[in-house]
């Protein structure tokens, strides 16, 4: 490979890394599903009855702390 090819390859790798970083950093929390279980939002305790520790569909261990669900998870 000559110098121009190395520079082109480096530019492509840098651009791909930058695009991947943009995609990762702009992730938004998922919206509430449009189903019967989520149609009526009562309170955070209602969310935690299904998504709390030891419940049927618990939050992932990486989920940030907080019980203001609609602050991050909006309605559709």
Does pTM top 0.75 for this prediction? no
Distances (CA, A) of 70 to 21, 22, 49: 26, 25, 16
pLDDT at 68: 83
- The three-point CA angle 5-9-13 to 5° equals 170
pLDDT at 71: 84
pLDDT digits (tens, 9 = 90+) for 27-76: 778 888 889 888 887 778 888 888 888 888 998 888 887 778 888 888 77
pLDDT at 69: 86
Under DSSP, the state recorded for 34 is: S
């Amino acid at each position: 490979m000559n110098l121009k090819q190395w520079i082109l390859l480096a530019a492509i790798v840098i651009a791909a890394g930058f695009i991947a970083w943009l995609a990762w950093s702009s992730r938004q929390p998922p919206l509430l599903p449009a189903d019967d279980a989520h149609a009526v939002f009562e309170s955070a305790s209602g969310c935690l009855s299904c998504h709390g520790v030891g419940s049927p569909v618990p939050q992932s261990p990486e989920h940030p702390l907080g019980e203001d669900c609609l602050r991050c998870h909006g309605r559709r």
